[in-house]
Amino acid sequence: MPAQEANKIVHLSHPSGAKVEIALFGATVTSWSVDGKERLFVSEKAVRDGSKAIRGGIPLVFPIFGTKEKIQLPQHGFARNSYWEYIGLLTDNDEVAVRFALKDNQLDSQLRKGWPHSFRLTYTVTLTAKSLKTVLVVKNEDEDTFEFNTLLHTYFRIPDISKVAVEGLTDRKYIDKVENAAVSTEERAKVTIASEVDRIYCDAPDSLHLYYGGPDSIAIEKTGLKDTVVWNPWIEKSKGMGDFGDEEYHNMVCVEVGSVADWVKLGGGATWTGGQTLTIQ
Is 117 tagged catalytic? no
Burial degree of 156 (CB within 10 A; 0-12, 13-18, 19+): buried
Active-site hit among 14, 21, 76, 153: 153
3-state secondary structure of 239: helix
Does 256 contact ligand BG6 by CB under 6 A? Answer: yes
Active-site hit among 21, 186, 248, 256: 256
Q: Is 281 annotated as a binding residue?
A: no
Q: Is 75 annotated as a binding residue?
A: yes
Residue selected from 19, 103, 177, 239 as contacting ligand BG6 according to rule CB under 6 A = 177
Does 226 contact ligand BG6 by CB under 6 A? Answer: no
3-state secondary structure of 235: helix
Given a contact cutoff of 8 angstroms between Cβ atoms, the answer to whether 60 and 154 are in contact is no
Q: Is 72 annotated as a binding residue?
A: no
Does 193 contact ligand BG6 by CB under 6 A? Answer: no
Given a contact cutoff of 8 angstroms between Cβ atoms, the answer to whether 231 and 246 are in contact is no
Q: What is the maximum span of the chain, computed from C-alpha positions, in angstroms?
A: 51
- Interface map 125-144 toward ligand BG6 (x if CB under 6 A): --------------------
Whichever of 128 and 276 has its CB closer to ligand BG6, that residue is 276
233, 237, 243, 247: CA torsion to nearest 10: 70
CB of 177 to ligand BG6, least distance (A): 5
| Ramachandran region, residue 188 (left: φ > 0; alpha: ψ -120 to 50; beta: rest) | beta
Does 229 contact ligand BG6 by CB under 6 A? Answer: yes
Is 141 tagged catalytic? no
Whichever of 42 and 280 has its CB closer to ligand BG6, that residue is 42
Chain centroid to CA 273: 15
Does 248 contact ligand BG6 by CB under 6 A? Answer: no
- For residues 157 and 140, what is the distance between their CA atoms, to the nearest angstrom? 35
CB of 230 to ligand BG6, least distance (A): 9
Does 227 contact ligand BG6 by CB under 6 A? Answer: no
CB of 126 to ligand BG6, least distance (A): 24
Beta bridge partners of 255: 230
Beta pairing, strands 9-13 & 207-211 = unpaired
Binding residues: 55, 75, 80
Active site residues: 153, 256
Binding residues for substrate: 55, 75, 80
Query: Which residue ranges make up the site for ligand BG6 (CB under 6 A)?
Result: 53, 75-76, 153, 177, 198, 229, 231, 256
